[in-house]
Amino acid sequence: MAEIRYEDDSIISLDWKDHIRLRPGMYIGKLGDGSTPEDGIYVLLKEIIDNSIDEFVMGNGREIDIKIDKNKVMIRDFGRGIPLGKVIDCVSRINTGGKYDNKAFKKSVGLNGVGTKAVNALSDYFLVKSVRDGELKSAEFNKGILTNDNPIVKVSEKNGTFMEFVPDETIFKNFYWRPEFIENQLWNYVYLNAGLKINFNGKTFVSKNGLLDLLTKKTAAEELHYPIIHLHGEDIELAMSHSNQYGEQYYSFVNGQYTTQGGTHLAAFRESLVKTLRDFYGKNFDAQDIRTSVVAALSVRIEEPVFESQTKTKLGSLTVSPDGQSIRTFINDFLSKELDNFLHRNPEVAQAMLKRILQSERERKEIAGIKKLANERAKKANIHNKKLKDCRAHYNEKNSGSIEDRQSTTLFITEGDSASGSITKSRNVQTQAVFSLRGKPLNCYGMTKKVVYQNEELNLLQHALNIEDDMDDLRFNRIVIATDADVDGMHIRLLLLTFFLQFFPDLVRNGHLFILQTPLFRVRDKSKTFYCYSETEKQTAISSLRGKPEITRFKGLGEISPDEFGKFIGDDIRLDPVILHDDQSIEDILEYYMGKNTPDRQEFIIGNLRVEQDDVTEEIEEILEMEEAEA
C-alpha cells in the first residue's frame, strides 16, 4: 500500500463559497429532492424569508411578496432595505450581517450571518436589490461569484429588499417545489406574526389570532374534547386541546422558527403540562395518560437561541437569555399560573379534560398486560436478525453516526423474500434498513391499539421503528412503503397506510412516511437503457432508440436485479410523501380507503395502480373481491 503524503501542500484553505458548496449539509441540512419539508431547497427559501420576517418584527414593512416560477424564486419585502454600501457584503461575505448587535435583533432566528450567503453559494443565479430612500443598489452572482456589481440608481420604489435565486441543479438534483410544503411554511410565519401579510403566487396568507388560528386550522377535521385553550404571556404563547387521535401532536416554535424536532422548550412544556395538571386535579396521573391525544402549539422568544444544527430544527438552549432563568423554569412558571387560572375559571373545560385523561388511563390499563407479553414475544422473535436488516447509523441519538447520517436514515417496508433480497443487497448499509413483511399485514381499520400488540407482525413493525412507547424514539427518519406495482402490492400499501394513520398519525403528520416509486418498464437496445416510470416515459424512450428495443415490464420488486435496484434507491430515488392536509379527517380517509366500495374508490384505484389500461378492470375486481372477503 502506497504511503499517503501529508506535507505543507496537503493543507488546503477554502474560501466561503467553496466550503459551502463542498459541505452544503453543514449549512442547510440534507439536500433532498423536495419530497420532504426539511429538504434543502425549502431551507434556502426560509433563509431569505427569515430576514424579511426580522424586519417585520422590528416594525418595518407589513407585507412580503413571494413568487416561484418553475425553479426561479423571487422575494420582496418592504422593510428598511440593506444599507446600500453593504449590499454585496451582506450576501457574499461570511459572518457579515446586522444581527450581531443584540439590541437591534435581540430575539432573532439567524444570528450567525451565514444564511443568505449559503443561498448565494448554492444558486446558479442570485440577484439582490436594495431600495433605500429613492436609491437602488443591485448585484448579481453565479454560484457565489460576483458577476455584476451594478451602480446605484435613482428609483421611485418603496424601501425594501428584493432577492431572486435559482438553485444549482448540480447540487439539488431532480428537485421540485411542493406548494403544500411552502404554503404550510408561510402559514406558520403569519400565525407567529399577527398582522403580517404574505402574498405567494396569487394566494394571500394572514392571521389575526396567532396560534389559536394555527391550531383551529390544524384540527379542523378532528373532534376536540373541549374548545382550544389560548394563553399569552411575555415571550410565550400557547394553544392546546385534546383530540381523539392516538399519540401527541405538537407545533413548536422559537423566535418564529418552526422547530420540527422540538428541543428544550418542547421538553419543558411536556414536563410542565404533566406537573400542572397533576397539581390542579390533585392526582398523580401517569404522564402518558395526560399527554395522550394532546394537540398543542407553543411559541417562545428567547435571546441568542442555540440550535443543534444550522437548519435550526431543534432547540438546544437551556436559558431564555445568556444570564437569565432556565427555559424549564420559564415555561413551568407560565403554565402553573396561566393554565391553572384558566381551568379554575372554566370548570366545564377542566371537567372535559379530566374525562379525556381518565379515558386514556383506562385504555392504557386495558392493554398493559397484552403489551408486556408482546414485548417479550418481540425479544424472543430476535427481530434484528429475522425481520429487520438494520443500518449502521440510527436515528436514535443514543447510537453512533453523524447528525446528517441519522437524518438520512431510511427503513424500507416490503413483502416477500425476493423483493426484500433485492433491496437488502443494493441498499446503502450506512443509512438504509429493510423490514420484511411475512404476507399481508392485518387490516386494522376500526380496531383499537390493542390489536397492535396482539398481532405479531404489527407488533414487530412498531418495535423495529422503536415507537411502541414514544414517537421521540423513532429510529428512522424516513419510512418507505416499497410494494410491487400490481394488485397485491396496492393492497399491502393500503393496509400499511391504514396501520400508520390509525395508530401513529403523528408519524405521518411529521412527514416521515413515503411511497417508493420503482420503474414499470426497462427499455433498451445495444447502446442505451432507459428505466420508465409511466407509459408516457416508455413511449418517449422507444421513440429515442433506433430499431426495435427490448421492453421489460416490471411487476414485482424481486424481478429487478440488485445491481439495477441500487439505481432506484440511491441518489435518484423517487419518493411520494404521504401528506395529511389540515382539512382531512383521518376517520374519513380510512373510511374512503378501507370502508365500503364506492365509485370514487374505484376511480382512485384506477388512477393509482399504475398498470397498463388493459389490466385495469381485472385488477380492480381482484382488489375489491379481496377486501370483501376479508370483511
For residue 605, the domain's CATH number is 3.40.50.670
The pLDDT of residue 567: 84
Residues 461-478: what's their mean pLDDT?
84
More confident residue, 270 or 616: 270
On whether the pTM is more than 0.85, the answer is no
Q: Is it the case that residue 404 has pLDDT exceeding 70?
A: no
List the single range of 250-259, 314-323, 399-408, 538-547 with lowest mean pLDDT: 399-408
Query: Could you give the dihedral angle defined by the CA atoms of residues 547, 553, 557 and 563, in that order, rounded to the nearest 10 degrees?
Result: -10
The alpha-helical segments, DSSP class H, found in 381-486 are 383-386, 403-407, 417-426, 450-454, 456-465
On whether both 610 and 501 belong to a single domain, the answer is yes
In a domain, 265, yes or no: yes
Q: Do 257 and 211 touch, CB atoms closer than 8 A?
A: no
| Distance from C-alpha of 509 to C-alpha of 512, rounded to nearest angstrom | 8
Instruction: State yes or no: pLDDT of 396 exceeds 50.
Output: no
Residue 370 belongs to some domain of the structure: no
Is 10 a domain residue? no
Cα–Cα distance measured from residue 255 to residue 305, given in angstroms and rounded to the nearest whole number: 8
Same domain, 199 and 296: no
Residue 228 has pLDDT above 90, yes or no: yes
pLDDT on residue 351: 96
Establish if 231 belongs to a structural domain: yes
Residue 174 is predicted with a pLDDT of 82
Q: How many CA atoms lie within 13 A of 468 on its CB side?
A: 22
Evaluate if residue 46 carries a pLDDT over 70: yes
Give all strands (DSSP E) within 176-267, no chain letters: 197-200, 203-205, 229-233, 236-242, 249-254, 257-258
Q: Which residue among 143, 173, 205 closes a domain?
A: 205
Residues 6+ apart with CB under 8 A from 618: none
- Where residue 387 falls (left for φ over 0; alpha for ψ -120 to 50; beta otherwise) is alpha
Does 158 lie in the same domain as 134? yes
Element (H, E) at 130: strand 123-132
Which of 361, 390, 423 is at the close of a domain?
361
Burial of residue 352 (number of CB atoms within 10 Å: 0-12, 13-18, 19+): middle
Structure-model confidence comparison of residues 17 and 291, the more confident one: 291
Q: Are residues 29 and 47 in the same domain?
A: yes
The confidence score (pLDDT) of residue 356 equals 95
Q: What are the pLDDT digits (tens) for 318-363?
A: 888 777 889 999 999 999 999 999 999 999 999 999 999 999 999 8
Residues 308 and 421 in one domain: no
Q: What is the pLDDT of residue 99?
A: 54
pLDDT exceeding 70 applies to what percent of the chain? 84
Q: Identify the pLDDT of residue 555.
A: 76
Instruction: Provide the pLDDT confidence category of residue 405 given band limits of 50, 70 and 90.
Output: low
78 lies in some domain: yes
- 455 and 429 together in one domain: yes
Of 186, 205, 224, at which residue does a domain stop? 205
Q: Please check whether residues 31 and 124 belong to one and the same domain.
A: yes
- pLDDT reported for residue 18: 80
Whether 15 has a pLDDT exceeding 80, the answer reads no
Read off the pLDDT band of 383 (50, 70, 90): low
Q: Is 538 part of a structural domain of the chain?
A: no
Give residue 514's pLDDT.
93
- In sequence order, what E strands does 30-101 have? 63-69, 72-77
Q: Which of the four pLDDT bands, split at 50, 70 and 90, describes residue 112? A: very low
Query: How does pLDDT run across 283-307, given as a tens digit for each residue?
Result: 999 999 999 999 999 999 988 888 7
pLDDT at 601: 60
131 closest CA partner among 150, 113, 102, 154 = 154
Q: What is the pLDDT of residues 323-333, one digit of tens each?
A: 788 999 999 99
The region, left, alpha or beta by phi > 0 then psi within -120 to 50, assigned to residue 93 is beta
Reported as a pLDDT band with limits 50, 70 and 90, residue 151 is very high
CA dist 178 and 176 (Å) reads 6
507 assigned to some structural domain: yes
Mean predicted lDDT score pLDDT of the chain: 83
pLDDT of residue 221: 75
Question: pLDDT confidence of 470, banded at 50, 70, 90?
Answer: confident
Identify whether residues 357 and 502 lie together within a single domain.
no
Q: What whole-number percentage of the chain has pLDDT above 90?
A: 38
Both 313 and 347 in a single domain? yes
Q: Scan for cell 399519540, then name that residue.
A: 247
Q: Select from 507, 514, 491, 388 the least CA-distant residue to 441.
A: 491
Which range marks the domain in which residue 71 is found?
A: 17-205
Domain with residue 102: its CATH number is: 3.30.565.10
Q: What's the CATH number where 279 sits? A: 3.30.230.10
pLDDT (tens digit per residue) in 178-205: 998 999 999 999 999 988 999 999 999 9
Give 528-549 pLDDT, tens digit per residue. Answer: 999 888 888 999 999 988 888 9
Mean per-residue pLDDT for 359-370?
A: 87
Average pLDDT over residues 373-395: 71
Is 50 exceeded by the pLDDT of residue 619? no
Compare 397 and 514 and report the one with higher pLDDT. 514
What is the total count of domains within the chain? 3
Q: Is residue 339 located within the same domain as residue 237?
A: yes
Residue 546 lies in a domain: no
pLDDT for 105 equals 56
Same domain, 219 and 194: no
Highest-scoring range by mean pLDDT, 98-107, 401-410, 488-497: 488-497
Whether 298 and 414 map to the same domain: the answer is no
pLDDT tens profile 58-68? 888 899 999 99
Which of 334, 336, 192 has its CA nearest to residue 252?
192
